[in-house]
Structure 1
Amino acid sequence: MFAIEINDIKKEIADRVLFEIPHVTANRGERIGIVGRNGLGKTTLLEIMAGVTTPDQGFVTRNGTAGYLPQILPEDAKLSGGEKTRKAVQRILAEQPNLLFADEPTSNLDVDSVKHLERQWKRYAGTLFVISHDRMFLDAICTTIWELDQAQITVYPGNYSAYETQKVRERESAEAGYERYQTKKRQLEDAKSHHEKTAHGLRTPNKRFTAKEIRSAKPGKGVQEKKQHKAVKAIEQRIDRLDKVDKPYQQKAIKITLPESSQMKQGNTVIRANKLSAQAGKRTLFSDVTFSLKSGGKIALIGKNASGKTTFLRQIMNANEAITRGDKVKIGYFDQQLKQVDLTKTLWENIKEVSIHDDQMNRDCLGSLQFVPDDLPKSTTVLSGGERVKLALAMILLSDANVLILDEPTNYLDINAMKALEELIAGYSGTVLFVSHDRTFVRRVATHILALENGEITLFEGSYADWENSKKTSISRGEEDNLLIEMEMSAIAAKLMEPRLTASEKAELEQRYQEIVAKRK
């Protein structure tokens, strides 16, 4: 029996059809990730499946109880976003629903909390439907991916990586199909051109011939010319009958290069911290932090929720006396308030206001973030939250700033937009310091890691994968040290049981035992 069955559902907003799905099912125990660009109706579809919203037509059959975790949770001044999410997850799991529907459950969670959620939902025995932009999370828990695109659902078996692999194959197949179409069309057009030239040659007399020779040749040439025109007509019909194949869209790589006047020499120090400290009330967030960041680096600031990451970024922005900036440093700052977006202007006017690049680069950058030409004259007041985030990021990337500080730039972005931002940052010639809990984004972008842990900030020169491996190595060494300590404690305990020990030997062994216990603690 199916866990859920969708039959002929349709949903419209204003004059636009969000989706029209004839039939799709999910089996019991499946864990399904729903993916697709912002604005296509993923949340609406999830709400319809959960029974929170009704479709304009059609129906959904659910076999069992349903639990729904919305993206926007009720306000609670006592709890942070991450705490609210964790509390809501525990409440729903305690209800033990047969079907669980979750909308962006990882958006307010730090990495450790996301990993904990992965472990919980792997043990969940019911059927799970989740919308998430966290690709590693989808990889860890999903058994199936539903892609919402062009108002339809396409089902892909496997996790997100398997889905991406299949999409690559589809794109390669589409490109091969386009090439076959173009090759066949060129062949027919060349044949058509040949027959047209032959017909033209028959119609135009050779200047060396006399008038009598031309008159005597006309009847035969006329028949041949008609044959050529008939062949041209037949080829035109064959061209018309070809199944037209559109060229698959391919995003071109964009490199945003700062002008020489804004460039800093590779390896120069852009930001230096010397004994930087900060508190939240009576709680010390970090203290005596010392490091320097070099130009051209892409540095990820990572740490748990409420560890002080945003406070640290504001210390840099507010020119704390423990922070020194390079002489040519000009900072561009992105936060969730999107203060740089002027809501009285159009999208294009906002870009032109700050960009130091030509119009082609401006359009390329906007295009990579999924804006189309029709979006350029739009008032920013009609843009969605995700679209305003993308506009704010484009404005910062195209400005004259040579050091970008980005606080959670991946929130509210769909996966395609995050991939585009990864490419833009990789092709940006300045320095980028950013905070993101999205592990895939950090893994693909960061060249250095600033880790905020236990009140300390440590600069690691290497990628996120290298940093994770170093953590595993240190944990392994710690486990090895613990094993050696346990062995020594066991050996001392055995010696203490020996009856021939003198009082001084026993006292010495007991003192050593207490030293090892203290070391283990």
Structure 2
Amino acid sequence: MLYSNLNSQDICDSLELFENMDLFLGSNELTVLTGPNGAGKSTLLRLLNVRALEAGYSVIYAPQSPPGSALSEGQKQMLRWLEWMELGFHSESILLLDEPFRHLDTDFRRKALSFLRSVPGYRLIVSHDMDLLQGANRIYHLQNGFLESYGGNLDFYRMERQRQRQARRRQSEALRNRLHENRKKSKEINQRQSHRTKKAVADNETQNIPRSFINKQKNRAEKTAARLNGATERKSRILERQQKEAYEKLKTLESEPGGIVRIPCGPGKKHALVVENLGLDFGATRARENQEEASSFSTVAIPDLNLQVERGEVVWLQGKNGAGKSTFLESVLGLRRYKGKVRLGTVPFYLPQNLEHFGTERSVEEMLMDFWTICCPGSGFPGPQAQKDWRNLLGYAGIPADTIKRSASTLSGGERMKVMLTMAAILEPGILVLDEPEQNLDLVATEELLETLRQYAGAVLFVSHDAVFARELNPHRAWTFPS
């Protein structure tokens, strides 16, 4: 099935994300659409839905899961999947899903991927999920208005983009050299013309050559120079245009991590975190300093909820959706009430699953206090010098200086992550506590996050359902949260 002349302005006149783009969907192929945040993937999916309905196809279209409800994010996604699995599909059905793998636990991911592979018809999934990309038959990459097709899974996609990147760098370098030679040639023509003019004047003075003859020779030389200069200028314009096009295409392939945030590791004890016989409270959150007696709480004691994380150790926390992993992380950091013993041997930094504050219209700078209270529990608010250092770190990480003045809701997933990681760099924690940190990140931002965590010398306790992401982080051990 071929979609032709796809234009983002067909969805909204103000959207200038892509135009005259073609996309092919193979029957019974699992096709995944990826690319940077803000490239227009969701817009493209909406446009394909409209086109398919107009053509009379049977379409199942699902935008991203809306926030809200008392269920966990993973539980909401599971309910959506169960609804899709009950629907009838045939060879002409079209399934268009936007980020459907977010927050799904490992077991349900296997079921969802098996369903996508077996269901008949045409399937296009928007996702940055490494597990899903590894199981794809075809991957499309959308960036800067260009749509690139890769006929394979994540490994093939990475290998092919690396090959294309190297080839286009060579092409860009060759065009730059040709442009330099062309400009050099133009300069030599002008120098020769200037030399001939000076020589003609000198000959007239010494040899008494008629002025009419000198002027005739001069005019002929100027015409020749103008013709040659015109040719070289036209060639230069062509080369400049080709070089610009090559550079624009190269930008869509530049996916190596850049602007990596380096987080210093602060001092601490041998055991960064010790948890013994923890009982969780699944009610409202409350800071520990405002707690009542723990005996008055309605807590849930989970057997064998004991954990030790040593300094420098990376621990992968696994578990089913709704089991209480996020509640556990908030409890050990003192953001929820609990029973049992928790000992932190160092300063923690917490990255929550849902960064709700980013959905407001307040500026990033204005919200620093809110971020700090959540992510740096027990740490005093940074002073003026620390805030200045934070702004400088954002610059080193590739975030423009005016970003902190922008509305927080305008930040991309990668920019949001860098804002949080630079806060961690100011705090210099001894342990990072991360709740599904790869969610909402495109592949480039995910690579940058992985590189930051690999370079960090402290302890890391992270929740993730993406097995590919977790394996690339190379944890020392995995700890399964009891259901």
Identify the TM-score tier after normalising by the shorter chain: 0.7 to 0.9
> Hey, what's the Cα distance between the residues in 2 that align with 1:341 and 1:129?
28
- Of 299, 304, 320, 1:287 maps to 304
Q: Offset at 1:75?
A: 6.6
Q: Normalising by the residue count of structure 1, what TM-score does the alignment of the two structures yield? A: 0.67
Higher relative contact order, structure no. (Cα contacts within 8 Å, ≥ 6 residues apart): 2
- Of 103, 126, 130, 1:108 maps to 103
- 1:68-106 per-position Cα deviation (integer Å, ceiling 9, x unaligned): 3443269764x5443443333233222212322222221
Q: Is the 8 A contact 2:64 2:100 kept in 1?
A: yes
Counterpart residue identity of residue 324, structure 1: R
> Hey, what's the Cα distance between the residues in 2 that align with 1:306 and 1:412?
20
- Secondary structure of the corresponding residue to residue 304 of structure 2: strand
Corresponding residue number in structure 2 for 1:322:
341
> Hey, what's the Cα distance between the residues in 2 that align with 1:200 and 1:398?
61
Structure-2 change in CA distance of 1:429 and 1:257 (3 Å): farther
Corresponding residue number in structure 2 for 1:463:
none
1:333 aligns with 2:330: no
Q: Is the 8 A contact 1:6 1:61 kept in 2?
A: no
Corresponding residue number in structure 1 for 2:379:
none
Corresponding residue number in structure 2 for 1:411:
439
| Counterpart mapping for 1:262-301 below 5 A | 263-264=266-267, 269=270, 271-273=272-274, 275-279=276-280, 283-287=300-304, 289-295=306-312, 297-301=313-317
Corresponding residue number in structure 2 for 1:239:
236
Q: Offset at 1:180?
A: 0.2
Q: Normalising by the residue count of structure 2, what TM-score does the alignment of the two structures yield? A: 0.72
Structure-2 change in CA distance of 1:365 and 1:430 (3 Å): farther
- Of 68, 71, 79, 1:87 maps to 79
Q: Offset at 1:398?
A: 3.9
Corresponding residue number in structure 2 for 1:365:
397
Corresponding residue number in structure 2 for 1:122:
117
For the aligned residues, what is the CA RMSD? 4.2
> Hey, what's the Cα distance between the residues in 2 that align with 1:160 and 1:364?
30
- 1:183-215 per-position Cα deviation (integer Å, ceiling 9, x unaligned): 21233344445556666777889xxxxx99994
Corresponding residue number in structure 1 for 2:169:
175
Q: Offset at 1:405?
A: 1.9
- 1:313-343 per-position Cα deviation (integer Å, ceiling 9, x unaligned): 22331298733333xx332222145377695
Q: Offset at 1:107?
A: 0.9
Q: Is the 8 A contact 1:5 1:62 kept in 2?
A: no
Structure-2 change in CA distance of 1:373 and 1:454 (3 Å): closer
| Counterpart mapping for 1:305-316 below 5 A | 305-316=321-332
Q: Is the 8 A contact 2:138 2:152 kept in 1?
A: yes
Corresponding residue number in structure 1 for 2:134:
139
Q: Offset at 1:179?
A: 0.6
- 1:16-57 per-position Cα deviation (integer Å, ceiling 9, x unaligned): 23443555443432222122222333233334434xxx47xx
- 1:380-417 per-position Cα deviation (integer Å, ceiling 9, x unaligned): 2x426847743543443442232332212222223332
Corresponding residue number in structure 2 for 1:401:
428
- Secondary structure of the corresponding residue to residue 133 of structure 1: coil
Count of paired positions: 428
Structure-2 change in CA distance of 1:199 and 1:404 (3 Å): farther
Q: Is the 8 A contact 1:278 1:287 kept in 2?
A: no
Q: Is the 8 A contact 1:198 1:228 kept in 2?
A: no
5+ residue gaps, structure 2, are 282-297, 369-381
Structure-2 change in CA distance of 1:118 and 1:379 (3 Å): closer
- Of 64, 76, 87, 1:71 maps to 64
Structure-2 change in CA distance of 1:150 and 1:386 (3 Å): same
| Counterpart mapping for 1:419-434 below 5 A | 419-428=447-456, 430-434=458-462
Structure-2 change in CA distance of 1:178 and 1:434 (3 Å): same
Identity of aligned residues (%): 20
Counterpart residue identity of residue 123, structure 1: S
1:30 aligns with 2:29: yes
5+ residue gaps, structure 1, are 206-210, 456-521
Corresponding residue number in structure 2 for 1:42:
41
Counterpart residue identity of residue 182, structure 2: L
Structure-2 change in CA distance of 1:94 and 1:292 (3 Å): closer
> Hey, what's the Cα distance between the residues in 2 that align with 1:426 and 1:418?
12
